[in-house]
Amino acid sequence: MTENAVPLVTLNNGITIPQLGFGVFKVDPDKTGRVVRDALDVGYRHIDTAKIYQNEEGVGHALKESGIPREEIFLTTKLWNDDQTDAEAAFEKSLARLGTDYVDLYLIHWPTPERDTYLDAWRSMEKILASGRAKAIGVSNFTVDHLERLIAETEIVPAVNQVELHVDFQQAELRAFAAEKGIAIEAWGPLGQGKINESPELSAIAEAHGKSVPQTIIRWHLDVGNIVIPKSNNKDRMAQNFDVFDFELSASEIATIATLDRGEDGRNGSSPLEVN
Protein backbone atom coordinates (compact mmCIF):
# COMPACT_ATOMS: atom_id res chain seq x y z
CA MET A 1 0.00 0.00 0.00
CA THR A 2 1.39 3.43 -0.96
CA GLU A 3 0.34 7.01 -0.56
CA ASN A 4 -0.98 6.88 -4.12
CA ALA A 5 -3.98 4.94 -2.82
CA VAL A 6 -5.19 7.88 -0.74
CA PRO A 7 -8.02 9.82 -2.39
CA LEU A 8 -7.61 13.58 -2.75
CA VAL A 9 -10.32 16.00 -1.67
CA THR A 10 -10.51 19.27 -3.60
CA LEU A 11 -11.00 22.21 -1.25
CA ASN A 12 -13.11 25.25 -2.10
CA ASN A 13 -10.09 27.21 -3.36
CA GLY A 14 -9.01 24.42 -5.72
CA ILE A 15 -6.12 22.87 -3.82
CA THR A 16 -6.21 19.19 -2.93
CA ILE A 17 -5.73 17.47 0.42
CA PRO A 18 -5.15 13.73 1.04
CA GLN A 19 -8.34 12.41 2.61
CA LEU A 20 -6.41 10.22 5.05
CA GLY A 21 -3.75 11.96 7.08
CA PHE A 22 -1.78 11.53 10.30
CA GLY A 23 -2.21 13.59 13.47
CA VAL A 24 0.37 14.22 16.19
CA PHE A 25 -1.88 15.45 19.01
CA LYS A 26 -0.36 14.37 22.36
CA VAL A 27 2.72 12.93 20.67
CA ASP A 28 5.71 13.55 22.96
CA PRO A 29 7.92 16.24 21.39
CA ASP A 30 10.97 14.00 21.95
CA LYS A 31 9.31 11.18 20.02
CA THR A 32 7.69 13.24 17.28
CA GLY A 33 10.53 12.89 14.80
CA ARG A 34 10.48 9.10 14.98
CA VAL A 35 6.68 8.91 14.91
CA VAL A 36 6.36 11.14 11.86
CA ARG A 37 9.16 9.33 10.04
CA ASP A 38 7.32 6.06 10.69
CA ALA A 39 4.09 7.56 9.34
CA LEU A 40 5.85 8.76 6.20
CA ASP A 41 7.42 5.31 5.77
CA VAL A 42 3.95 3.75 5.92
CA GLY A 43 2.78 6.11 3.19
CA TYR A 44 1.06 9.03 4.87
CA ARG A 45 1.61 12.33 3.05
CA HIS A 46 -0.66 14.54 5.14
CA ILE A 47 0.62 15.58 8.59
CA ASP A 48 -1.46 17.59 11.07
CA THR A 49 0.13 19.44 13.99
CA ALA A 50 -0.50 22.62 16.01
CA LYS A 51 1.43 25.21 17.99
CA ILE A 52 -0.13 24.02 21.25
CA TYR A 53 1.07 20.42 20.67
CA GLN A 54 4.64 21.69 21.17
CA ASN A 55 5.94 19.31 18.50
CA GLU A 56 6.11 21.47 15.37
CA GLU A 57 9.93 21.31 15.49
CA GLY A 58 9.88 17.51 15.55
CA VAL A 59 7.50 17.44 12.61
CA GLY A 60 9.74 19.79 10.67
CA HIS A 61 12.86 17.74 11.35
CA ALA A 62 11.10 14.55 10.26
CA LEU A 63 9.94 16.09 7.01
CA LYS A 64 13.45 17.26 6.17
CA GLU A 65 15.09 13.98 7.16
CA SER A 66 12.61 11.98 5.10
CA GLY A 67 14.04 13.26 1.82
CA ILE A 68 10.50 13.53 0.46
CA PRO A 69 10.03 16.73 -1.56
CA ARG A 70 8.17 19.33 0.50
CA GLU A 71 5.51 19.73 -2.19
CA GLU A 72 4.57 16.06 -1.84
CA ILE A 73 3.54 16.49 1.81
CA PHE A 74 0.40 18.29 2.91
CA LEU A 75 1.21 20.10 6.16
CA THR A 76 -1.31 21.62 8.57
CA THR A 77 -0.74 23.66 11.72
CA LYS A 78 -3.00 25.78 13.88
CA LEU A 79 -3.29 29.19 15.53
CA TRP A 80 -3.61 28.87 19.30
CA ASN A 81 -6.20 30.79 21.33
CA ASP A 82 -3.75 33.15 23.05
CA ASP A 83 -2.37 34.21 19.66
CA GLN A 84 -5.60 35.21 17.92
CA THR A 85 -4.89 38.93 18.39
CA ASP A 86 -1.56 38.61 16.55
CA ALA A 87 -2.00 35.79 14.07
CA GLU A 88 0.74 37.06 11.78
CA ALA A 89 3.45 36.81 14.44
CA ALA A 90 2.20 33.41 15.61
CA PHE A 91 2.18 32.11 12.05
CA GLU A 92 5.76 33.22 11.44
CA LYS A 93 6.87 31.44 14.62
CA SER A 94 5.13 28.26 13.48
CA LEU A 95 6.89 28.45 10.11
CA ALA A 96 10.22 28.85 11.89
CA ARG A 97 9.60 25.86 14.15
CA LEU A 98 8.49 23.75 11.19
CA GLY A 99 11.47 24.85 9.12
CA THR A 100 9.36 25.65 6.07
CA ASP A 101 8.37 28.79 4.22
CA TYR A 102 4.73 27.76 3.81
CA VAL A 103 2.06 25.45 5.15
CA ASP A 104 -0.66 23.86 3.12
CA LEU A 105 -3.40 24.59 5.65
CA TYR A 106 -3.56 27.00 8.59
CA LEU A 107 -6.45 26.68 11.04
CA ILE A 108 -7.90 28.72 13.88
CA HIS A 109 -7.71 26.08 16.60
CA TRP A 110 -10.81 27.08 18.65
CA PRO A 111 -13.44 29.82 18.28
CA THR A 112 -12.96 30.95 21.93
CA PRO A 113 -16.35 32.72 22.02
CA GLU A 114 -15.76 34.55 25.30
CA ARG A 115 -12.70 36.26 23.84
CA ASP A 116 -14.54 37.13 20.61
CA THR A 117 -11.29 37.47 18.68
CA TYR A 118 -11.74 34.90 15.93
CA LEU A 119 -13.02 37.40 13.34
CA ASP A 120 -9.90 39.55 13.69
CA ALA A 121 -7.76 36.42 13.59
CA TRP A 122 -9.49 35.32 10.41
CA ARG A 123 -8.89 38.66 8.72
CA SER A 124 -5.17 38.27 9.45
CA MET A 125 -5.30 34.74 8.06
CA GLU A 126 -6.91 36.04 4.87
CA LYS A 127 -3.80 38.19 4.41
CA ILE A 128 -1.54 35.19 5.11
CA LEU A 129 -3.43 33.27 2.43
CA ALA A 130 -3.04 36.11 -0.04
CA SER A 131 0.71 36.12 0.60
CA GLY A 132 0.99 32.46 -0.44
CA ARG A 133 2.50 31.38 2.87
CA ALA A 134 -0.59 29.27 3.51
CA LYS A 135 -2.16 27.47 0.56
CA ALA A 136 -5.52 27.28 2.33
CA ILE A 137 -7.03 28.56 5.58
CA GLY A 138 -9.71 27.08 7.75
CA VAL A 139 -11.02 26.63 11.25
CA SER A 140 -11.26 23.95 13.89
CA ASN A 141 -14.00 23.21 16.42
CA PHE A 142 -16.39 25.78 14.94
CA THR A 143 -20.12 25.30 15.31
CA VAL A 144 -22.72 26.26 12.71
CA ASP A 145 -23.29 29.56 14.55
CA HIS A 146 -19.58 30.39 14.49
CA LEU A 147 -19.35 29.55 10.80
CA GLU A 148 -22.41 31.60 9.89
CA ARG A 149 -20.98 34.66 11.62
CA LEU A 150 -17.54 34.19 10.07
CA ILE A 151 -18.96 33.83 6.57
CA ALA A 152 -21.26 36.85 7.00
CA GLU A 153 -18.60 39.21 8.34
CA THR A 154 -15.41 38.28 6.44
CA GLU A 155 -14.36 37.74 2.85
CA ILE A 156 -13.29 34.10 2.55
CA VAL A 157 -15.26 30.96 3.36
CA PRO A 158 -13.10 28.52 5.37
CA ALA A 159 -11.72 25.65 3.32
CA VAL A 160 -11.90 23.21 6.23
CA ASN A 161 -13.56 22.82 9.62
CA GLN A 162 -11.67 20.27 11.72
CA VAL A 163 -13.90 18.93 14.49
CA GLU A 164 -14.35 16.01 16.85
CA LEU A 165 -16.23 13.44 14.80
CA HIS A 166 -16.62 9.69 15.17
CA VAL A 167 -19.35 7.06 15.05
CA ASP A 168 -20.68 8.04 18.50
CA PHE A 169 -20.67 11.75 17.61
CA GLN A 170 -21.42 12.12 13.92
CA GLN A 171 -22.27 15.86 13.76
CA ALA A 172 -24.86 15.41 11.00
CA GLU A 173 -26.17 18.98 11.18
CA LEU A 174 -22.70 20.49 11.01
CA ARG A 175 -21.69 18.20 8.15
CA ALA A 176 -24.80 19.18 6.18
CA PHE A 177 -24.16 22.90 6.72
CA ALA A 178 -20.53 22.50 5.69
CA ALA A 179 -21.50 20.65 2.53
CA GLU A 180 -23.93 23.44 1.64
CA LYS A 181 -21.20 26.07 2.08
CA GLY A 182 -18.40 24.11 0.39
CA ILE A 183 -16.44 23.59 3.62
CA ALA A 184 -14.62 20.28 3.93
CA ILE A 185 -15.07 18.46 7.24
CA GLU A 186 -11.98 16.97 8.85
CA ALA A 187 -12.38 14.56 11.76
CA TRP A 188 -10.13 14.64 14.80
CA GLY A 189 -10.45 11.87 17.36
CA PRO A 190 -11.88 9.79 14.50
CA LEU A 191 -11.71 6.54 16.46
CA GLY A 192 -13.20 8.02 19.62
CA GLN A 193 -9.95 8.95 21.41
CA GLY A 194 -9.38 5.43 22.64
CA LYS A 195 -13.08 4.83 23.34
CA ILE A 196 -13.60 2.80 20.19
CA ASN A 197 -17.18 1.72 19.66
CA GLU A 198 -17.09 -2.09 19.67
CA SER A 199 -20.83 -2.48 19.15
CA PRO A 200 -22.21 -5.71 17.68
CA GLU A 201 -23.23 -3.74 14.58
CA LEU A 202 -19.72 -2.45 13.92
CA SER A 203 -18.15 -5.79 14.77
CA ALA A 204 -20.41 -7.54 12.27
CA ILE A 205 -19.59 -5.05 9.52
CA ALA A 206 -15.87 -5.39 10.23
CA GLU A 207 -16.07 -9.19 10.17
CA ALA A 208 -17.95 -9.12 6.86
CA HIS A 209 -15.02 -7.26 5.28
CA GLY A 210 -12.25 -9.13 7.08
CA LYS A 211 -11.15 -5.93 8.79
CA SER A 212 -10.79 -4.66 12.34
CA VAL A 213 -13.33 -2.29 13.90
CA PRO A 214 -10.87 0.66 13.77
CA GLN A 215 -10.22 0.00 10.08
CA THR A 216 -13.97 -0.15 9.48
CA ILE A 217 -14.47 3.17 11.26
CA ILE A 218 -11.76 4.86 9.19
CA ARG A 219 -13.36 3.44 6.05
CA TRP A 220 -16.70 4.87 7.20
CA HIS A 221 -15.14 8.32 7.49
CA LEU A 222 -13.78 8.04 3.97
CA ASP A 223 -17.04 6.76 2.52
CA VAL A 224 -19.15 9.56 4.03
CA GLY A 225 -16.67 12.17 2.77
CA ASN A 226 -14.76 13.16 5.90
CA ILE A 227 -11.06 13.96 5.83
CA VAL A 228 -9.66 11.87 8.65
CA ILE A 229 -6.48 12.09 10.75
CA PRO A 230 -5.98 9.09 13.05
CA LYS A 231 -2.91 9.02 15.26
CA SER A 232 -0.72 6.32 16.77
CA ASN A 233 2.79 6.01 18.18
CA ASN A 234 2.99 2.43 16.92
CA LYS A 235 4.11 1.83 13.34
CA ASP A 236 2.14 -1.41 12.99
CA ARG A 237 -1.03 0.39 14.05
CA MET A 238 -0.25 3.23 11.65
CA ALA A 239 -0.02 0.65 8.87
CA GLN A 240 -3.30 -0.98 9.90
CA ASN A 241 -5.02 2.42 9.89
CA PHE A 242 -3.64 3.00 6.39
CA ASP A 243 -4.77 -0.38 5.08
CA VAL A 244 -8.32 0.69 4.28
CA PHE A 245 -8.34 1.14 0.53
CA ASP A 246 -9.22 -2.40 -0.56
CA PHE A 247 -12.86 -2.31 0.57
CA GLU A 248 -15.86 0.01 0.78
CA LEU A 249 -18.95 0.03 2.95
CA SER A 250 -22.36 -0.49 1.39
CA ALA A 251 -25.16 2.03 1.69
CA SER A 252 -26.93 -0.27 4.16
CA GLU A 253 -23.78 -0.56 6.29
CA ILE A 254 -23.43 3.22 6.35
CA ALA A 255 -27.09 3.49 7.33
CA THR A 256 -26.49 1.03 10.17
CA ILE A 257 -23.55 3.08 11.45
CA ALA A 258 -25.72 6.22 11.35
CA THR A 259 -27.93 4.62 14.02
CA LEU A 260 -24.97 4.54 16.44
CA ASP A 261 -24.82 8.34 16.69
CA ARG A 262 -25.36 9.50 20.29
CA GLY A 263 -25.34 13.22 19.55
CA GLU A 264 -23.81 15.44 22.23
CA ASP A 265 -23.79 12.49 24.63
CA GLY A 266 -21.17 10.93 22.39
CA ARG A 267 -18.74 13.84 22.60
CA ASN A 268 -15.42 12.88 24.24
CA GLY A 269 -13.54 16.16 23.99
CA SER A 270 -14.34 19.70 25.07
CA SER A 271 -17.27 21.67 23.74
CA PRO A 272 -16.31 24.64 21.51
CA LEU A 273 -18.54 26.77 23.74
CA GLU A 274 -16.39 26.05 26.78
CA VAL A 275 -12.81 26.47 25.50
CA ASN A 276 -11.23 29.89 25.86
> Which are the catalytic amino acids?
53
DSSP conformation letters of 63-83 = HHHH---GGGSEEEEEE-GGG
Task: Say if CB 134 and CB 128 are below 8 A apart.
Answer: yes
List the 137-140 sheet strands across, edge first. Answer: 22-23, 46-48, 74-79, 105-108, 137-140, 160-164, 184-188, 227-228
Residue 125 sits at φ, ψ, to 5 deg, of -70, -30
Q: How many Å apart are CA 214 and CA 156, to the nearest integer?
A: 35
- Taking the CA of residue 276 as centre, how many other CA atoms within 13 Å lie in the half-sphere pointing to its CB? 7
At 194, is the secondary structure helix, strand, or coil?
coil
Instruction: Give the torsion sign (CA, 272, 274, 275, 276).
Output: positive
Q: How many Å apart are CA 73 and CA 211, to the nearest integer?
A: 28
